[in-house]
Amino acid sequence: MSYLDAVVLGVVEGLTEYLPVSSTGHLTIAENLLGLEVDAPAVTAYTAVIQLGAIAATLIYFFRDIVRFAVAWFRGLTDAEARHDPDYGLAWAVVIGSIPVGIVGFAAKDLIEGGLRSLWVVATALILWSGVMVVAERMHTSYERRGLVRGEHSVTPVDGLLIGLAQCFSLIPGVSRSGATISAGLARGIDRVTATRLSFFLAIPALTAAGLFQSVQQKDDLAAFGVGPMIVGIIVAFLVAYLSIAWLLRFVASNSLMPFVVYRVALGLVLAGSLAAGVISAT
């Protein structure tokens, strides 16, 4: 892998990790166009490792919030009065919501890194999950009309569990982790900014675990790419992801997910057409 490849993949990872367009899907497309073998162990491992850059961006951007939630959670474990703090419930939502994707990701690891690493899967998921996002938007609009939209202080562990279950679908390339979690939050009647922030918080344990697991388990495969390109990919992903987080929070405050839906469907159709015409290969 060249340093230019590392920069390109870092930009793609940082730009798409938190936008509801599927970072894995875009990385798979980028890897294919760069001439990399998308289902090779080293390539899938590299993809997971550079996610650590995006995670670092999340940790820094939301550092104060993370500390606040952690303090509330630990206090609530021993102090019954502290359990009335809304931050305690939100912290539990993140903890509980992070469990399902870890279990499913570990159990289906071979399928995720093998059979699902196909651009046909990406194209199909981009289109089909867009329908889920449309349904979530309509449900949220219904909540808004009835004045039932909830804020951050009303997030419960049940919300975390259901959103966490939705996050499992993001293991399919093309679905999008943020697309799955934000949609689930909207469908639960949580306001747009809170649903997006919760998506970021749920990303921390999920992506950190995936990145560290891959870096340890496949360190020999990663060695083939060299330390330099890996560091470059992580740094670029961090810088671009930080900017993406700031932009997305401003965008969702007053906009729906529909622009992303249009983009996803268009990309999915173009990708499917290119595959059918033999312009690009599926793996």
* Residue 64 C-alpha from the chain's centroid: 21
Whole-number pLDDT of residue 189: 95
* Per-residue pLDDT, 113: 67
> What is the model's pTM?
0.88
- The reported pLDDT for the residue numbered 165 is 95
Using one digit for the tens of pLDDT, what is the confidence trace for 50-71?
Answer: 888 998 999 999 999 999 999 9
Question: How many whole angstroms separate alpha carbon 132 and alpha carbon 146?
Answer: 22
* Range list of H helices, 168-226: 177-187, 192-217, 219-223
3-state SS string for 71-120: HHHHHHHHCCHHHHCHHHHHHHHHHHHCHHHHHHHHHCHHHHHCCCCCHH
Task: For residue range 4-28, list pLDDT tens digits in order.
Answer: 999 999 999 999 988 999 888 899 8
The whole-number pLDDT of residue 221 equals 65
Q: Is the distance from CB of 101 to CB of 167 less than 8 angstroms? A: yes
For 225, half-sphere exposure in the C-beta direction (CA atoms, 13 angstrom radius) is: 30
Domain ranges of the chain: 3-276
Q: pLDDT tens, position by position, for the chain (283 residues)?
A: 789 999 999 999 999 988 999 888 899 889 888 988 877 777 877 888 888 899 899 999 999 999 999 999 999 988 888 888 889 999 999 999 999 998 998 887 777 766 777 889 999 999 999 999 999 999 999 999 999 999 988 999 999 999 999 999 988 988 998 999 999 999 999 999 999 999 999 988 887 877 777 667 766 666 677 788 889 999 999 999 999 999 998 998 888 999 999 999 999 999 999 999 988 887 7
278 to each of 123, 158, 273, how far by Cα in Å?
14, 46, 9
Residue 43 has what pLDDT? 82
